[in-house]
Structure 1
């Protein structure tokens, strides 16, 4: 059963040069209780899709979709006030660069206390009912849940006094305080060292397994999230180019962009020559106001032909969705 069903999402941004389409008919179908990876290079539009789902976009955005449901909630029909009620309780987000989103003028304890439910003598916390008077205990348990052991020291500090990894764990603790149904993690390990990255990914996996939290994991690193995800969607220049289960995408990639992303994953079992050149897809992702006509991967695609000047339509092969004129079907 799909928890989040987004079909043909388009985002147009009004600029001084006119209207620019940055997301073009993107589709996401996130199964309840799963981890869904949304992968693409920086600038592909992953964060724009997340903001459209959350409803935190700017006034110069024009967001349209055939369908945007969270369970049985039609997100497109919600007012701003109604959308804010959904935020935190039904959907929560973990931003990249956590220090940018934590209040630098408040200590961690005060910021965490603000996200706890108010107005009731009893509140729900991770499927348990506890008294409101136990905020300190709840915050302690939240921090322990995300792997912060020295909680008494952490809550007394300001964000700038903590490491990037601890700040990210604090943000995750704040995000799960209301036990949301959907947790969106927007590149949660950006600019972190490998050990801290592994800790954050293990934490997200435990949240999914122990509390059945559905996670939409956004990343530009295919290798770091591929083994964590149950389902994977790849996005390029605002278009979802391939989507399917982990086995479908990894074992039988059909789109040239997916095949290129898989080739960038380092295989340490192979004997690489000293200072050998790693694989990269030629070219770079174009800016939003200079997108090519038709298939947006066309100028970089090794399989591009004349037909690619027309926009390909998405085709479903037994749950494996592909948007390409020349998919690799012989490997299916």
Structure 2
């Protein structure tokens, strides 16, 4: 069953050079209770898609879609007030660069407390308070500590009394995750959750997200440009290039029978530790650079960089679906 169903999402932005279509008929189908990876190079439009889902776009955006449903709720027909009511309760987002989104003038305790549910607080912690018999500790304080412990922060007292600039990027990211799960949302969107982090912290964040999915049945949409890390925990994956979703399918379909040249290029960038590489051997990269938003090619946007491109690629390819595996390409890679 699909929790989030988006079909033919397009985003046009008014600029000084005129209206530019930055997202072109992107489709996304996220299964309830799954981990879905939205993967693409930096500047491919992943964050724009997430902001369109949340309704966090500016007045110069024009967002259209044939279908944009969260469960049985039509997101495209909600007003801004109705959209804000589902943020945090139905959908939460973990933003990229968390220290930029946390309020620098308020301590962590105040910021986490502001997102806590207000009605069910006493009911949830009445049993805990009666057992430990520490009446002087408020139920809100207990819930905040519980959230921090869930995301792997042990020195909760010190962290709660700090401002965001006093904490490391990894701890700020964990604080944002704690704020995102405070209301047990059905869907969490994680936008580049491990950017600029050391390898150990990256592993901790991915293990935490995986644990949230397994224990709470929380649906995750992970936006990333790291194909290797994201594919390791994803049940389903969607590849995005220059605002176009080029291929989507299950982990087995993407890893075992990729049909689009861009997906094949991403697979080739993965380093296999079992293989032996020559000294100073050149790693695989896709030739060329991703174009800027005001110089997008017509038709298939991968065309100028695609090794299989032909003259017909100046026309947009149609969507092909085979057993839940969808791709857009005039010359897909044929299965052997």
Q: CA offsets, 1:121-177, max 9 Å, x none?
A: 64669xx99899401000000000000011111101111111110000000000000
Conservation of the 8 A alpha-carbon contact between 2:7 and 2:25? yes
Q: CA deviation at 1:118?
A: 2.2
Conservation of the 8 A alpha-carbon contact between 1:93 and 1:175? yes
Pairs within 5 Å for 1:241-260: 241-260=246-265
Structure 1 runs, 4 residues or longer, greater than 3 Å off: 119-125, 128-133
User: What runs of 5+ residues in structure 1 fail to find an aligned partner?
Assistant: none
Over the aligned positions, Cα root-mean-square deviation in angstroms equals: 1.6
Q: CA deviation at 1:318?
A: 1.0
Pairs within 5 Å for 1:254-273: 254-273=259-278
SS in 1 for 2:117: coil
Rounded Cα–Cα distance in structure 2 between residues aligned with 1:171 and 1:130: 25
Residue 114 of structure 2: aligned partner: 114
Q: Cα 1:203–1:291, aligned 2, differ >3 Å: closer, same or farther?
A: same
Rounded Cα–Cα distance in structure 1 between residues aligned with 2:56 and 2:274: 44
Alignment pair present for 1:181 and 2:186: yes
Rounded Cα–Cα distance in structure 1 between residues aligned with 2:300 and 2:81: 38
Residue 8 of structure 2: aligned partner: 8
Alignment pair present for 1:62 and 2:67: no
SS in 1 for 2:294: helix
SS in 1 for 2:207: helix
TM-score between both structures, scaled by the size of structure 2: 0.95
User: What runs of 5+ residues in structure 2 fail to find an aligned partner?
Assistant: 130-136
Conservation of the 8 A alpha-carbon contact between 2:34 and 2:235? yes
Residue 80 of structure 1: aligned partner: 80
Alignment pair present for 1:328 and 2:328: no
Rounded Cα–Cα distance in structure 1 between residues aligned with 2:291 and 2:223: 20
Aligned residue pair count:
329
Alignment pair present for 1:160 and 2:168: no
- 2:241 pairs, out of 218, 236, 245, with 236
SS in 1 for 2:193: coil
SS in 2 for 1:85: helix
SS in 2 for 1:290: coil
Rounded Cα–Cα distance in structure 2 between residues aligned with 1:46 and 1:124: 36
TM-score between both structures, scaled by the size of structure 1: 0.96
Residue 143 of structure 1: aligned partner: 148
- 2:284 pairs, out of 279, 282, 290, with 279
Rounded Cα–Cα distance in structure 1 between residues aligned with 2:127 and 2:56: 30
Q: Cα 1:225–1:120, aligned 2, differ >3 Å: closer, same or farther?
A: closer
Rounded Cα–Cα distance in structure 1 between residues aligned with 2:128 and 2:190: 27
Q: CA deviation at 1:330?
A: 2.1
Residue 288 of structure 1: aligned partner: 293
